[in-house]
Amino acid sequence: MVTLKTERENVKIIGGTFEDLNANSNQTFNKYDKESREWVVGKFLLPGRRILDLGCSIGAWGAFFRKKGYKEIYGVDIAEDRLKTAAKRGYKTFKAHGTKLPFKDASFDAVVCIDVLVHTIRKEDRLKTIAEAARVLRKDGVFVFSIANLKYEELYGKVNFYLPMEKRTIAGYCRPIYLKEAIEAAERAGLKVVEARGIQFITPSVLVKFPALLKLLDFVFSGSFLKNYARVIFLKAVKD
C-alpha cells in the first residue's frame, strides 16, 4: 500500500497563491485564473462582517473580502511564515489545521476554503475540515469552498480512473475529488449545497493561450451541467 505524505509534510511546496504564480509563470493566464476565482466567490459570498479564510496562506484574498464589506478577516494556516505576511495585511491569524479550528461555535458570517482541500490528502481530514467549517459558521452563514475536479483530471489523463482512490493524486500532493463527494461531505456536516459553479473547461495547453475564450466559456458553462467537467469547481453551502 502506498503511503502518501500529508499536507503537514508537504507544507513547503503547497500554499502558493496567484501572487506567487504571477511572479513565476504565464501572467496572462494567471490574471484570468485570479479573476475567474474572484468572479465565482463574489457571486457566492453573502453580506457579513466577520469572515474566516481557512488555509489563508499569505492573505492574498484580504483586499477582495474588504471590498465585499467584511470588516474582520480571520486566517488559519499551518505555515507560520505565511501567516506573518497575512497578519501584515490585516488578518487576525491563527496557526492551526482545518480539522481542529481554535474558534467557538457559530463565530463567523462566512467561511471560505479556496484551493485548500485539493491538498488535504486524507478523506477523513477533508470530512473533519468541512465539519469544522460548519461548526464555526453562524446560522444562515455561507461556506464557500473549491475542489480540484477528479472527473476533469481523468478526462485529460492527469490521473487514471482505474487506480485505487488512494493513488489518484497529482504529483503526490494534490487530491482531486468528484463533485458528488464534495456535496456529500457538506451535507454530512449539516450544510446545504445551494449552488456549484465550474471554471476552466478545456485543456491546460489551451487555457494558457486563449484566456479571453476562457472567460466566455466560464460565463456560459459555469452553472450548467458542464460544470461537472470543469478543472475547478466552487460550491456554496449554507447553514440553515
Extents of the domains making up the chain: 45-197+232-238
What cell does 224 get?
450548467
Which amino acid, 93?
T
Question: CB-side exposure of 25: number of CA atoms within 13 Å?
Answer: 13
Given a contact cutoff of 8 angstroms between Cβ atoms, the answer to whether 75 and 92 are in contact is yes
What cell does 153 get?
483530471
Question: What are the pLDDT tens digits along the chain (240 aa)?
Answer: 344 444 444 444 445 544 554 444 556 777 888 899 999 999 999 999 999 999 999 999 999 999 999 999 999 999 999 999 999 999 999 999 999 999 999 999 999 999 999 888 888 999 999 999 999 999 999 999 999 998 888 887 665 555 555 555 554 557 888 999 999 999 999 999 999 999 988 766 666 677 677 888 888 999 999 999 999 999 999 998
CATH number of 45-197+232-238: 3.40.50.150
Q: What is the pLDDT of residue 158?
A: 62
Q: What is the pLDDT of residue 127?
A: 96
Q: What is the pLDDT of residue 153?
A: 84
